[in-house]
Structure formats: structure tokens, C-alpha cells
Amino acid sequence: MKLVVLTALAMLAFAGNSLLCRLALLHTGIDAATFTSVRLISGALVLWLIAAQRSGAGTKSLGGGWLSAVALFVYAEAFSFAYLSLPAGTGALLLFAAVQISMIGWGLYRGERLARWQIAGFALAVGGLVFLLLPGLSAPPLQGALLMTAAGVAWAVYSLRAKGAGDPTRATAGNFVRAAPLALAVSAAMLPSMQWDPAGIGYGLASGILSSGIGYVIWYAALRELKMTSAATVQLSVPVIAAFGGVLFLDESVSLRLVMASAAVLGGVAVVLLARGRPSRRDALTPPAGTPPPSR
């Protein structure tokens, strides 16, 4: 029961990043760059406090590195700017698809071989993503879709670099601390167009502290008991949760195209992951930021 609760809370946190960002940008006066800065700074603070409390070593408790921090920064900025135009569910599906397809593609590039069913699943997932992006009345805005795809690729890079990086909480804390000044630099560059209000700052703090910082810690606690195939597969629920949250809290509609694309993408990735059998902890796909290895 503890494992079920931890896993459910982590998935809600990952989907919560999409909902909080979309809520802030749609219903408050905060701009995307300021939201990102608030999210990364508050996430860095809470993760640093948790890591320092566990190790008792202060700043020496930080791990990570600059390349991973840059990937985290690119993900967070592209994620926020994409949600200026994308519905919550569509954005979460694009992010998840880009992360998983990029990581599976990297495995193929490194020489991993897929079984026949896995090849079919991978083709189905890619086809679902292409179908979602095809021109039409219900297609997502191209600029937002490209930005969210870039966010997914950046998160895949971050996740791949996280393998073997030591304690995940320390590594994530260090990467957030390094990424925060980069986000502040973007906010400074966009100072003439900076906008914010208390509600927008509140959503940014909730995204950074709860959905990102504490959400990642909860996820790492669940990962200790989950098989890696199960961990990767359970994240299929994140776009679905985000889509339902968008309907409930943002009055968003779910188009037939999104439903069909979701079925193709999530079903295809599920086939690839489940057909792996029992992968080793080292070779399995790491979880998304939002899930950072995580907020997919």
C-alpha cells in the first residue's frame, strides 16, 4: 500500500507540473520566463535543503554537473514557453512521447536490438506522434509543439546523463542549483516584458516545491521498490492524468485526434517497454521530469 501511494503521488506531481504551468500562464499575469525562474529557484532550494539535511554536509552535499544542468534548463524553459499555446494534455503527451522516443532511439543507436513486437510498438508510437502534429483544425499550434518536443529531447538527455550519477536527490539538487542562474539570465534578458502577480508566483512555487522538488523525492522513494520496467510503464498514466486535469480545472476539451494519438503513442511505448521482459536497473529507461530522474 505504501508503494502504491508513493507511486500515485509521484504521477500526480508529474502531471501537476503541466497543470500548474498552464494554469499560471492562462489565468494569471505571470510570464513564461518568470514562471520558469520561480520554479527552478524554489525547486533548487527545497532539494538543497533535503539533500543537506540527509548528508549534513551543506553545499558539499550537491551532486550533478553543468551539462546536466543545461539540459534541465533547456527542458524547463521550453516547457514553460510551450504551454503559452498548448493545452495541458496535449503538452504532456508531446513531452512524454519525445522523451521516450528519444531514449529508445538512443538505445538503438548504441546497438540495442528490438524484437519484432517492439519494432511494431516503436513504429506505432512514432506514427501516433506524427498523426498528432499533422496539419488540421485540431492540430496543436506548431510553435508550441516544437518547443515541447525540444523540452522532451532535453529531458531525455538529462535522464540519460543521470544514469550512474550517484545519489539521485543530491544530483538533482545540484543540477537545479546550477540551472537556476541560467533561468534568471533569461528573465533578465526579457526584463522589459516581465509580468507577474501573486497567483502566478504561487503556482510557480507550487510547481517548484511540490511537483518538482518533493515530487522527485517521492518518486525516488518509490523507485527503490519498483522494477524499472514497471517504473517506466506506470509513467504512461501522466499524459492521461494531465488531460483529465485539463478538462476538470482548465475547461479544456479532448479532441478525437488527441485520443487516437494518445492511444497510439502510449500503447506503442507500452509494447516496447513491456516486451523488454526484466531489464537490468542499469539498462532500463530512467524516469521522466517530469518526471526528473524526474516535474516526466
Is 54's pLDDT higher than 90? no
* pLDDT at 289 exceeding the cut of 50: no
pLDDT bin (cut points 50, 70, 90) of residue 104 is confident
Q: Which contacts of 180-183 are long-range, i.e. CB under 8 A and separated by 24 or more positions?
A: 180/37, 180/40, 180/41, 180/44, 182/69, 182/70, 182/73, 183/33, 183/36, 183/37, 183/40, 183/41, 183/73, 183/76, 183/77
Which helix (H) or strand (E) covers residue 157, if one does? helix 142-162
Helix, strand or coil for residue 289? Answer: strand
pLDDT at 223 over 90: no
Q: Say whether pLDDT at 296 is over 80.
A: no
In this prediction, residue 101 carries a pLDDT of 86
In this prediction, residue 281 has a pLDDT band, given cuts at 50, 70 and 90, of: very low
Q: Which of 14-18, 129-133, 145-149, 290-294 has the lowest mean pLDDT?
A: 290-294
Indicate whether 115 belongs to any domain. yes
Per the model's pLDDT, the better-predicted residue between 31 and 221 turns out to be 31
CA 173 to the chain's CA centroid: 16
The model's pTM:
0.84
The answer to whether residues 291 and 211 touch, using CB atoms and an 8 Å cutoff, is: no
Q: Is residue 283 part of a domain?
A: no
pLDDT at 37: 97
pLDDT at 295: 41
Q: Confidence class of residue 59 from pLDDT cuts 50, 70 and 90?
A: low
- pLDDT band, residue 276 (cuts 50/70/90): low
- Determine which of 24-28, 219-223, 230-234, 268-272 has the lowest per-residue pLDDT on average: 230-234
pLDDT above 80 (res 164): no
User: pLDDT band for position 62 (50/70/90)?
Assistant: confident
C-alpha closest to that of 182 among 31, 48, 74, 295: 74
Residue of higher predicted confidence among 151 and 273 = 151
Q: Is the pLDDT of residue 224 over 60?
A: yes
b/e 91-110 (16+ beta carbons within 10 angstroms → b): bbbbbbbbbbbbbbeebeee
Q: Per residue in 186-199, pLDDT tens?
A: 999 999 989 999 99
Say which residue the cell 544514469 belongs to.
163
In a domain, 286, yes or no: no
Q: What is the pLDDT of residues 77-95, one digit of tens each?
A: 999 999 999 999 899 999 9
Boundaries of domain holding 77:
2-274
- 118, 69 in Cβ contact below 8 A? no
Query: Given this model, what pLDDT does residue 279 score?
Result: 46
Mean pLDDT score of the chain: 85
Question: What is the Rg, in whole angstroms, of the alpha carbon atoms belonging to the chain?
Answer: 18
**Is 85 part of a structural domain of the chain?**
yes
Range of 28-37, 227-236, 279-288 with top mean pLDDT: 28-37
For residue 134, is it within any domain?
yes
pLDDT digits 0-9 by tens, 129-153: 888 888 766 778 999 999 999 999 9
Q: Is the pLDDT of residue 293 over 60?
A: no
Q: Which residue has the higher pLDDT, 152 or 225?
A: 152
Is 206 among the domain residues? yes
Domain membership flag for residue 118: yes
On whether residue 293 sits in a domain, the answer given is: no
- How many distinct structural domains can be found in the chain? 1
**258 and 138 Cβ atoms separated by less than 8 Å:** yes
